Amino acid sequence: MSNGGFDGISYVTNGSEGYVMAGPGTETVAGTFDFELDYEMITGNDATFDVTLDHNSVVASKSIDSGSHSIILEDITLDDGHTLEYRVFCKEGTAIRINKVSIVAK
């Protein structure tokens, strides 16, 4: 993705519109999980964090709050054998520093 770059340990976007992070594209294991995004909003306030299965089925999504530094998609139940991605989408003019994504089994 050519919409930003790394500043050491974080990915910093440049305000371009589109998916600024997507991955890992790995196979799911059955269970219930929380997905937490640790971030800092730099400019703008129009971004979302979501989890998808099989590249197109959104199973959870939330707007990212510019007044916070983390967002949690809670209690996502997954079955075996799907392709998992978590993504951050920003509208034009919204820049964000993505520090990490944590996946916690419940």
pLDDT in tens, 66-82: 989 999 999 999 999 99
pLDDT at residue 2 in the model = 67
pTM of the predicted structure, to 2 decimals: 0.94
**31-45 per-position pLDDT tens digit:** 999 999 999 999 999
Banded pLDDT at 84 (limits 50, 70, 90)? very high
Contact 14, 84 (CB under 8 A): no
DSSP tag of 89: E
Taking the domains of the chain in order of start, what are their residue ranges? 4-105
Q: 4-105 — its CATH code?
A: 2.60.120.260
DSSP tag of 26: E
